[in-house]
Amino acid sequence: MTQNNFHKETAYFASGCFWGTQYHLEKVKGVDSTHVGYMGGTLDNPSYPEVKTGTTGHMETVEVIFDPSQTSFEQLVRLYFETHDFTQVGGQGPDIGSQYRSVIFYCSEEQKAIAEEYISKLFGMGFKVATALEPAGKFWIGEDYHQHYYDKKGETPYCHIYRKIFHD
């Protein structure tokens, strides 16, 4: 009998509208699946109309399930920072409100340390990083019509444009 050593890890990223974040992260080799949804608030099973009011405490969040033998949390963090304006406070682009904040919800102390390392690198490059680090809580999957939005529409994000920041 052969033993299967494959295991998956999970990461959670919020960076404004979850459609663009999902668009970029789901294309990484080694990412098994992504879902858009809500995290960080106090309301159980929130809906999009509730979250978009900014009163639930939830942020639009992307859940990324990945194979660490093919990609790493570090690679996902790098892409996350290279696909949104992590310096914007209180929103992202035209999406203003706490539900659009830049947040990495870490699932382990290792993920927290990697995220802290990259935030420190960005500060060292002269950026004023607004991204918060918070422990992951309950993830509430979003409505079906939000899942893989840009792929369904055959479009590309207008708010989440890739720009290379890290050159090492």
Q: Which residues are catalytic?
A: 17
109-124 helix and 73-82 helix, angle to the nearest 10 degrees: 40
CA angle 89, 31, 7 (to 5 degrees): 115
Whole-Å CA distances, 6 to 3, 32, 66, 147? 9, 12, 11, 26
Nearest to 159 by CA among 115, 96, 98: 96
**Do 134 and 107 contact (CB within 8 A), yes or no?**
no
